[in-house]
Structure formats: structure tokens, C-alpha cells
Structure 1
């Protein structure tokens, strides 16, 4: 794909996600009466401004980022605005809702996209039958003579446990605690019943034992209204994967997979080349990542600001400007270090 087109798509995708995020803050802040002097799309010098009610809507030269300027935030105090119309002048629970609104709208955008993708597709993957779909060349399954179309009716693990599978997932689950030894598969092939003794091989890349056969994909046509259920299912599944991935990073697992702006740009370009549906789904995934990441309790992120507000409520007073500045500086350093590390990973993958 042409580099210029790829860059335009990249900036449009990020702008959509950021605008949605900041719009969440704006809508809820104004709902609670907070004075918002500016809603900015992009950064740098303003190239277009329009004042609607008391809020100036700005489009700025650099199409990356954005912000809502609320009275009471550092550097945005405006003379003549009553304290009760500042972010610090509203009730604590309202402050928390305002701070969480951006991430919430990102998650809702992802949910809406997932619903739309499932609805447009018109079908969902159904649990596959315990039937061999394909055989990996030179795998244990290929060595013993298993074939595509074999129906597995029983699996006996090395400890003697017998599994009578109803779905292919039962076979996968049966192997989840496997650590070594022979596995016996009883299969039906036409009118014949055959037994195969298999020694699964350990895959260093995937860090698990593999037999070497895959399932046969199975789909089910759905009604339009079922897309809401399956969209929610996709949302929670992706949320679980994202949270698990962040948890792994904290433990030092998967650091080599962390991507920064360069990596996201490359992925966006690749996805865009696969078509509009793939790109829309990618917007949903990125929006979900941004939403969840912003709720993490890291100073300078929305989650960190929520923690600070909660602490102030508990101790009954505001933290001093000095302490708040120090906390935010720590958060900024952490984010910058993460971005530097992620960018270094991206550059390393280029060469």
C-alpha cells in the first residue's frame, strides 16, 4: 500500500479513537456543569476554531492527540468561573465518572464495532466436532497414520483418564495438563474403529505439546439480534486477553512483543490492505486497548487520576500541588520509558 495512503489511514484511525476518548470526557463534564473552555482535535497551532456555547472546538495542525480543557485542571484555570463549575468543585463520584468517561466511550465504540462486524458477517464459529480437519506434515499424528475426517470417539491420557469428547475443545482441554507419555486415540474411520498410540511433541515456540492435527471449522448462521450477544462475547474475550497481556508484561513476559507508534502504523497498514471490514475491526481492537490501558492505575493516565481523587476523598483533603506534580512526573517518566522501549522494539523488528 502507498506510504502516503497508509499514513493518512493511520492518522485517521488514531484520530477517531482519540476524539471518541476526549468526547467522553467532554460530554460527561458538561453534563455535570464543569466549564470546558476548549475541545481540541489534534495538537499544535490551531488551524480552525468554532465556538459552540461556551466551548471552543479547535482543529489543530498535528493530527495526533487531542484534549478537553476543563476549569480546575492544572494550567487551565479561568478567572471568573465559580469553584462549583471546576473539575475539583464537583462531587468526588462525579469527578471519577468524568475521568472514566473517555475510556468508557472507547470500550463502547469497540462494543458497537464488534456488534456491527458480527451482524455484517451473519454467522459465528460454533464448537467443532471431534473430527480431524487437517494433519500437520511430519507430526506425531501423521507418523502414526491418522487421517483427515477421522472422528475421535475416545482419548486415553497417560494417567489412564478416559475422555469421551463431544467437541474438539474437549480434546484440547484434555491435553492442557499433559506433561509426557503416550496418548491413545480411538477413532472411527468409515465402518472401522482404530486405535492410535501417539507421543505428542513439545513445541518450543508455542511452549506446549502438540499432536499435529487441527479441527474442522464449523459455523452457525445467526439472526441479526443475536449479534448483540456475540458482540458482547467478543468484547469480554478481547478484554480478558488484553488484561492478561498487560499482566504478563508486568511479570516480564512478552516484552519483545510490545509495539509503539511504528509497530501500530505497520499493523494498521497491513490490516488496511486486507479490506474495510478488517480495518473497522482493527479500530475496535485499538479503541478497546486504549480504553483499558487508560484505566490502569498509572499516574497521568485516567486510572491514576481516579486513584488520586479517591485518596483525597479518604484523607479528607487535596494533595499538595508539590505532591501531585511529583506523582504526575513519575507517571510521565513511566509512559515515556514505555514508549521508548516499544519504539526500540519496533526499530529492532525493522532490521
Structure 2
């Protein structure tokens, strides 16, 4: 249960923060956000806000989306001959259009649709109450809603609130805002971690921080803020060198050259054996050197984010030179990581959230159709050409990208299941 709760919290925060970026800047650009969804698949809960956005919670915790007016694949299909019911406002204009068999509107008018224009003319034509001898035409309110076949109620999308009606700059910013929010969240989480642990670690020095009482380092007489100059005759220049040598020698005696107050001495100690991800590693009970100033901790949030970004780009580079599904992870991997983090405490959970957030931001900026980066690339092409791409071509490109991502997600998920459960 703890793992499930941790997974849902981490997943929920990442998706909400990412999608809120798109949502916020779409609203600022005058674009109608018809739906703000957390999760994918069947709807569990839906509520239409006063801002015209329907907020939904969906069954599958594998993502989320904002459904913006005017994007072709997000429009409600109204076809001739479709039965529906209309609810009118006080002026006799259509306020709600119901095409769902799951919802009944009291005092509504049954209509067999002939044609509807919910973009420019805002009219709907049809036969009322089954009477095909007389065609009726209704004016549709600019802020009318449609109750779709699955029961979700969303606003209609007149031309002036559609995505393509916004400026190219506003659309580009709307597409970029999701990843941007992930980077901001990562920085905030690393700053919070720095305050929780009382400082920011300094990995590029051989100076250690605190020594845990009762640990092998404490029993060997190593003091706080000492410098570890060498281990087994190998020079130690930073924290990574130190941890690599210690972890490689579980239960084996090592010789260390330690500097304290300007004096050097040689000591011997035996790292205790611990397990990490099924592997035995050594541990001596020392922490990294810390900077404890407020400015240092805030700056550390930025530097840690940047260091993580560089590591992710190195990992992406390794995918190009040697692709392997084992280098990728999906929801199952995220669940496994949540399980490990939940057992190690709140700090580990926060670090995991920061790690996944910056990963989500970078991956979404890759120039792949259906990703935010692919959409931004199309925005740039439109700006250079001075006119938008043909909607059919753009739709085909986006669909190809979507199919690619879905196939890759299925392969990654199956690979994760095979790795962790078989």
C-alpha cells in the first residue's frame, strides 16, 4: 500500500505540474482548454469548472493531457442523422447538446441532426421530435457545451478560442510550458532537499562531511570534515572516487590516507557490507561535504538540476550509439523505483520525483511528432514558412509520431514486466 500511495503521489504531481504548464499558457493565449485529464483511458470522475474546462480523472495512471480547442483529433464528431437532445437557455439559444445515451436532460428537445456548425456560424439544424416535414434551425450559444457519447461534458470550440487562432509565439510557449514546469519543479525539489538535509553536497572535493557514530569510519578515528587523499594507493580527488573505491570493497580491509587539520596519517578499516539493487557494496558511514548557506542551497537546486540534465543527455547519446530497451523505463519501472524510494524515506521519494521530473521534461522536448518538442518544431517550421503546414500533412505526421510512441511504450512496458517479474 505504501508503494502504491508513493507511486500515485509521484505520478500525480509530475502529470499535474506538466499539464498545468500547458493549461496556464493556453488560457493566457485565449485558447479554450476543453479538458484537463489526469490519467488515460475510461473516465472515473469529471467536473466542469466555471472556466469552461472539464477536469477528469481517468483509470490508467500512464499520463495525462490537456484537450485544447481546435486540434483536429480533439473535436467532437457530429454527423448527419445523429439523434441528440438540446437544452435551451432563456433566450431560446442552445446551451447544451447531448449525444450521450448515458445522460438524460430534463425538458430537452429531441432532434435528428441535419447539420451543425459549432465553429463559425454557431447554428444547428435538424428535425425536431421526429417530424421530418419541417426543418428547424437553432442558434448555438458561444459558450454552449456538448455531452459526448462517453458522458463527458465539454465546451464547444468556436473559431476565436481555437489553438490556431493564437499567435505563433503563444502557441510555441504553450507547447514549451509543460517541460518548462518540469524543470522548475526539479529545481524546487532539489532546493527543498537541500534545506531538509541542512545543506547542499559538494561532490567535486575529497573532503567529507559528517561521520556517523558507530560506523567503520568513526571506529577508525576519522573526524568530520577530514580529507580522504588516497585509498589502497589510489588518489582520491572527489566524492565519486571515494564512493567507487569503498563500494568496491565490501568486507575487505582497505588502507586510507587521511588529512585532518593539515596533518596526514594512514589508517586501515573494513567497509561493512550492505545490499543495493541486489548487489553487495561497501559502506563506511561518511557523508559528502556540505555547504550550509541559504544562497548555496538555493544555487545548489539549480546546479543539481543542470548536472542531472547533462547525465540524461549522456544517456540519450548512449541510446543512439547502442539502442537497448533495458536503457528505457515505463510505468512499471516507475512503480519499482517508487517501491524502493518508499522504503528509504521521504528524502529518497523527493529525489525520485526530481529525477523523473527532469527526465519527463527532456524527453518531451525531443523533436518527435506527438511530443511537445515535435509540436515546437512544427511551430518553428510554420514561423519560417510564414504560413501553417497543411492540416492533413500535419495530422499524418502527428499520427505517425503517436503510433511510434505507443509501440515503443508497449515494448518498454513488456520489457519492464519481463525484467522485474519473470
TM-score by length of 1: 0.72
Partner of 1:49: 47
Change (3 A) 1:189 1:280: closer
Q: Does 1:59 align with 2:135?
A: no
Provide, for residues 241-274 of structure 1, a one-character-per-residue CA deviation record: whole Å limited to 9, x for no partner.
1111112112225643322221221111111111
Larger RCO (CA within 8 A; separation ≥ 6): 1
Change (3 A) 1:40 1:346: closer
1:118-133 mapped onto 2 (5 Å cutoff) = 118-126=194-202, 127-129=205-207
Partner of 1:177: none
Checking the alignment, whether the CA contact within 8 Å between 2:365 and 2:372 is kept in structure 1 is yes
**Within 1, Cα distance between the matches of 2:59 and 2:365?**
28
**RMSD of aligned residue pairs (Cα, Å):** 3.6
1:315 CA displacement: 2.0
Q: Does 1:116 align with 2:114?
A: no
Of 290, 298, 302, 1:228 maps to 298
Of 168, 190, 203, 2:237 maps to 168
Checking the alignment, whether the CA contact within 8 Å between 1:111 and 1:232 is kept in structure 2 is yes
Partner of 1:249: 319
Partner of 1:98: 174
Secondary structure of 1:259 counterpart:
coil
Partner of 1:87: 163
Checking the alignment, whether the CA contact within 8 Å between 1:48 and 1:59 is kept in structure 2 is yes
**Within 2, Cα distance between the matches of 1:312 and 1:64?**
31
Checking the alignment, whether the CA contact within 8 Å between 1:123 and 1:219 is kept in structure 2 is no
Provide, for residues 213-232 of structure 1, a one-character-per-residue CA deviation record: whole Å limited to 9, x for no partner.
x9975413412332110111
1:66 CA displacement: 2.3
**Within 2, Cα distance between the matches of 1:114 and 1:230?**
7
Secondary structure of 1:75 counterpart:
helix
> Which is strand-richer, 1 or 2?
2
Secondary structure of 1:39 counterpart:
strand
Of 4, 16, 22, 1:19 maps to 16
Q: Does 1:38 align with 2:114?
A: no
**What 5-or-longer segments of structure 2 have no aligned partner?**
76-117, 123-156, 212-226, 242-256, 267-281
Change (3 A) 1:189 1:51: closer
1:329 CA displacement: 2.5
Secondary structure of 1:168 counterpart:
coil
Secondary structure of 1:99 counterpart:
helix
Secondary structure of 1:47 counterpart:
strand
Secondary structure of 2:368 counterpart:
coil
Q: How many residue pairs are counted as aligned between the two chains?
A: 293
Partner of 1:277: 347
Secondary structure of 2:361 counterpart:
helix
TM-score by length of 2: 0.61
1:36 CA displacement: 1.7
Q: Which moved more, 1:5-14 or 1:233-242?
A: 5-14
Q: Does 1:6 align with 2:3?
A: yes
Change (3 A) 1:218 1:101: closer
Partner of 1:201: none
Checking the alignment, whether the CA contact within 8 Å between 1:47 and 1:59 is kept in structure 2 is yes
**Within 1, Cα distance between the matches of 2:358 and 2:398?**
24
Q: Does 1:307 align with 2:377?
A: yes
Change (3 A) 1:5 1:296: same
Q: Which has the larger radius of gyration?
A: 2
Change (3 A) 1:13 1:188: closer
Change (3 A) 1:33 1:270: same
